[in-house]
Structure 1
Amino acid sequence: MIVRILGEGQFDITDACFESLNVLDDAVEKAVEAGDEAAFRPALAALLAGVRAEGVPHDPESLDESDLILPPEDASIDEVREMLGDEGLIPG
C-alpha cells in the first residue's frame, strides 16, 4: 500500500505494519475527538514517525497514486478532523 504524508512524499507500507500504525492512529483520533491539542500534537508526530520507520520511501519518479493520504506534521487539529474517516486516518 502506498501512503502519502502531505508535503513529504510517499511510503510503501506492508500489511504487517498496519496493526502498529492503527494503534498510533487511534491515539490521533481520540485526541481529535476530544479536542485535546496537548495530546494531538505528539500523537500525530508519532503516527507519522511510525509511517517513516515502518515504510520504505516510494520511488519519487513514479506516478503511482497514493492509497492513503496523511496530513503533514504541522497540520491543525481542525485540518485533521476534516481528513478523519469512520476508521480514523488509517482504515483497519
Structure 2
Amino acid sequence: MGEGQFQVGDEHLNRLNQLDDELLTALDSGDESAFQSALGQLLAAVREVGSAVPDDSLEPSDLILPDEGATIDQVRELLRTEGDGLIPGLPE
C-alpha cells in the first residue's frame, strides 16, 4: 500500500509464504518489535524478488500488503478481510 505494484513469480511464493507465516506468528504473539521486523522482512523480500510495475500502468492485484509503518491492529483488520495470511498459497 502506497509503494506501487510489483509482479512476483510463482517460484518465489514458498519463500514469501514462510515470511508471511513468521509475520502471523509475531502478530499472534502481540510482540510489536517482532511484528515490525517480520513485516520489514516480507516487504524487503517482495522488493528483492519482484519487478516493479511502471507507475503509469495499473494492473489487477492479487494481494495488497500493508506499508512498513502499519501497526499490528491495522494488519489484523486487513487479515479479517483477506483470510489466511497476506500471501496467497501456490496455485494448484
Please say whether Structure 1 and Structure 2 have the same fold, judged by a TM-score greater than 0.5: yes
- Give the TM-score normalised by structure 2: 0.89
Q: TM-score, normalised to structure 1's length?
A: 0.89
Matched, 1:55 2:50: yes
Deviates more, 1:69-78 or 1:29-38: 29-38
Root-mean-square deviation (Å) = 1.0
Q: Which has the higher strand share?
A: 1
Q: Could you tell me which residue of structure 2 aligns to residue 19 of structure 1?
A: 14
Separation in 2 of the partners of 1:64 and 1:11? 10
After TM superposition, the structure 1 stretch with the greater mean CA deviation from structure 2, 31-40 or 9-18, is 31-40
Over residues 15-54 of structure 1, what are the superposed CA-to-partner deviations in whole Å (9 max), with x where a residue is unaligned?
A: 0010000111111111111111121010000000000001
1:3 alignment partner in structure 2? none
The aligned counterpart of 1:41 is 36
- Greater helix share, 1 or 2? 2
Structure 2, gaps ≥5 residues long? none
Q: Percent identity over the alignment?
A: 53
Secondary structure at 2:26's aligned position in 1?
helix
